[in-house]
Structure 1
Amino acid sequence: MKAAVWHGKKDIRIEEKELKPLKEDEVTVRVAWAGICGSDLHEYQEGPVFVPVEKADELTGEIAPIIMGHEFAGIIEKVGKDVQNYKVGDRVVVNPTLTHGDKPEDVDCYDGFSFIGLHGDGGFTKYANAPESNLYRLPETLTLQDGALVEPTAVAVQAVKEADLRFGDTVAIYGAGPIGLLTTLAAKAAGATKIIVLDLSETRLEKAKELGATHIINSGKVNGPAAVREIVPNGVDVTFEVAGVAPTFKQAIDSTRARGTMVIVSIFARPIEWNPLHLTNTGVKITSTIAYTPTTFQQTVDLMGTGQLKPQGIVTSQIVLDDIVEKGFEALTNDKSQAKILVELSGEK
């Protein structure tokens, strides 16, 4: 089957791959649509970040080259003999996170986690295997294309939950890429009154405004924290760092009120230099999130199914697998008007 395979930095190839044998607790999903994630882009531009290259991943048992793609939905094609709750023909979205499963999610939701599509073969192909425990049914109100948006939306929902954001809170979001835009949606749904989005791209800022930002700031033209404090003089209750670079990390802290919270949502592909004394006079709390709990994933499916979260507006392009490098990864690298690009596999609705 044709697949988008990661071999190294700037080296993703469309080539033939065989589907690995189906385990007894797995299903084979006929992939309909898959999204290109910011973490996929990091692997393309700067990798390896997560992709195992020196030894096999302990949870997947796989090593590069691997089939990329962890934001995907499709239809069950085949079930292993121990699968109990799903059948051939079910419409599902895959939660790509794999854990040891030894700890409750409220104790450690990242219990040695790995990702289908980053640490092992994923969804940029015709068929993908996934454990039954990682499947979620799509409600009839959602298309399979919508299903490809569940995973990144769940990242934003978890980020808002980690912030303990409450009705009436004020928010600043540094970075208006796909996750920043989805965090805008989630913050609005959670009751934030002021949602300030900062970015260097006017196109992305306008998209943030469309999706619910109350204020947009081009941080390349003005001092970001100063501009935020013109709107909320004491600083916002919560900031989300969704850009993944040292300047925005520091600016996010400077935009937060005393004893407020800054949430790191982005992936830092490389270390940054930062002095913790930056926090000493304010008591700003820093927390972080990279994925979501199983509960949050189901809540995201439910919120999208009822229309309380509508992430479809972040989609800027739909492409076919053969074009994934030029019209996918290269487009996201060079064209800041692009946000979420979906890859059509079977194309089923």
Structure 2
Amino acid sequence: MSTQDGNNAVENTPAPKSDKQMRAVRFHGKEDLRFEDIEEPKCGAGQIKIVPAWCGICGTDLHEYMGGPNLCPTTPHPITGENVPLTFGHEFAGRIEELGEGVSESWKVGDRVVVQPIIYDGDCGACQDGLINCCTNNGFIGLSGWGGGLAEHIVVPEYAVYPLPNNVPLDVAALVEPLAVGWHAVNISPFKPTDSVLVLGGGPIGLAVVQALRARGCPQIFVSEVSAMRKQYASDFGAHIVLDPTKEDIVARCRELCGGSGVHVAFDCAGVQQGMDQAILAVRARGTLVNIAIWDKHVKLWPNDFNFRERGYMGVATYVKGDYEEVIKAISDGRLDKCHKMITKRIELDQVLDEGFMTLINGTFSDEQNLDRDIGDTY
């Protein structure tokens, strides 16, 4: 089933006002997250109204809570027209409860769906090139307006909605968004199925990259990680060798494991200066360092490390059209057969702050749970 291409005016039309109330988790500012009653959105032309079933708490949400607003607009967003306070939640799946005028007849009430949260204008040069993730005015549902998955109802443009096969549960579908980040990174990198790869960081995105590589049959996946818990997860999710940078020379080990040449591709999912320095040198001549991490400060690069070995460096931003469909298909056909293990805790909507955010921030999971994973939220 295909969705609309999204380059028409109705997509940027806010949902009509409603007299009904609903519950939602709203971000008001630094360390100010509230579970409150707000107006329930109406479903307008070209829009689909969804009841979210499961929603992940993303690292971006945590950073906004602890030190934001950063990505959340404090002045009206150029597309949504909204600013804080805003409803959180951009990793979610649910069921259709209403269809707006003009929506494709392929949809029906009750359909199980997942939402791709990128907001884009459709007019800038990047959008005209099909690169909606690089839109000049881009934003995210759940961060920039148009509601979020941590609410009882949400209205989104049709282009944002993707159908789910019957064998993909709604809680697992909430993981499509972070999985799509890793999938996209591998897709646009120079990686070939015979290549050796180093992944920096065993957090959610690092594990998404590992799973995407595993789905493509990568024969050598190395993960550099400090946390004992994350090292175990990296191994469980498909890494062939897990390295500890506090105990091993990452550069020397990668060269040793790759016949003296180093890895073909390195994916930086950690955003740490020391790790990036090691990854550059661990990449072989004409290999590539792919940056997925979002950095909170400037870092240093020594161009000679690239010039003298003709190494490449590229940045990656979320995902583009097609990535969601590929991830959903890979979950359905079993290539991403371990992704359900990324769900480490399930909580109710009114527990998001205390049992979700504070649990993650304070690291109060038991040893069997990962401190920085997406959390399923049920309500």
1:327 Cα deviation (Å)? Answer: 2.5
Whether 1:111 and 2:135 are equivalent positions in the alignment is: yes
Q: Which residue pairs with 2:58 in the alignment?
A: 37
| Contact preservation (8 Å) 2:59, 2:372 | no
TM-score, scaled relative to structure 2: 0.86
Q: Which residue pairs with 1:86 in the alignment?
A: 107
Query: In structure 1, which of residues 338, 342, 345 is the aligned counterpart of residue 375 of structure 2?
Result: 342
> Take 2:48 and 2:110, find their aligned partners in 1: how far apart are those partners?
11
> Take 1:296 and 1:138, find their aligned partners in 2: how far apart are those partners?
14
Whether 1:314 and 2:314 are equivalent positions in the alignment is: no
Identity %: 35
Whether 1:9 and 2:30 are equivalent positions in the alignment is: yes
Over alpha carbons, which structure has the higher Rg? 2
Note closer, same or farther for the CA distance 1:41–1:225 as it changes in structure 2 (3 Å cut): farther
**Bigger relative contact order (CA 8 A; separation at least 6):** 1
Query: In structure 2, which of residues 118, 122, 126 is the aligned counterpart of residue 97 of structure 1?
Result: 118
Whether 1:172 and 2:198 are equivalent positions in the alignment is: yes
> Take 1:292 and 1:153, find their aligned partners in 2: how far apart are those partners?
10
The one-letter amino acid of 2:215's match is: A
Q: How many residues are matched? A: 345
The one-letter amino acid of 1:111's match is: C
> Take 2:291 and 2:59, find their aligned partners in 1: how far apart are those partners?
14
> Take 1:49 and 1:230, find their aligned partners in 2: how far apart are those partners?
42
Structure 1 window deviating more from structure 2 (175-184 vs 327-336): it is: 327-336
Query: In structure 2, which of residues 214, 235, 247 is the aligned counterpart of residue 221 of structure 1?
Result: 247
Q: Which residue pairs with 1:237 in the alignment?
A: 264
> Take 2:371 and 2:52, find their aligned partners in 1: how far apart are those partners?
23
Whether 1:74 and 2:94 are equivalent positions in the alignment is: yes
CA deviations on 1:90-115 (whole Å, 9 max, x unpaired) are 11100001212243555564223211
- The unaligned stretches of length 5 or more in structure 2 are 1-21
Query: In structure 2, which of residues 83, 87, 95 is the aligned counterpart of residue 63 of structure 1?
Result: 83
> Take 1:261 and 1:164, find their aligned partners in 2: how far apart are those partners?
7
Structure 1 window deviating more from structure 2 (232-241 vs 243-252): it is: 243-252
> Take 1:323 and 1:227, find their aligned partners in 2: how far apart are those partners?
44
The one-letter amino acid of 1:61's match is: G
Note closer, same or farther for the CA distance 1:7–1:245 as it changes in structure 2 (3 Å cut): farther
Q: Which residue pairs with 1:123 in the alignment?
A: 149
| Contact preservation (8 Å) 1:259, 1:284 | yes
- RMSD of equivalent CA atoms: 1.8
TM-score, scaled relative to structure 1: 0.93
Whether 1:143 and 2:174 are equivalent positions in the alignment is: no
| Contact preservation (8 Å) 2:291, 2:314 | yes
The one-letter amino acid of 1:62's match is: E
- The unaligned stretches of length 5 or more in structure 1 are none
Query: In structure 2, which of residues 159, 181, 196 is the aligned counterpart of residue 155 of structure 1?
Result: 181
Deviation above 4 Å: which 4+ runs of structure 1?
Answer: 104-109
The one-letter amino acid of 1:59's match is: I
Tell me the SS of whatever aligns to 1:341: coil
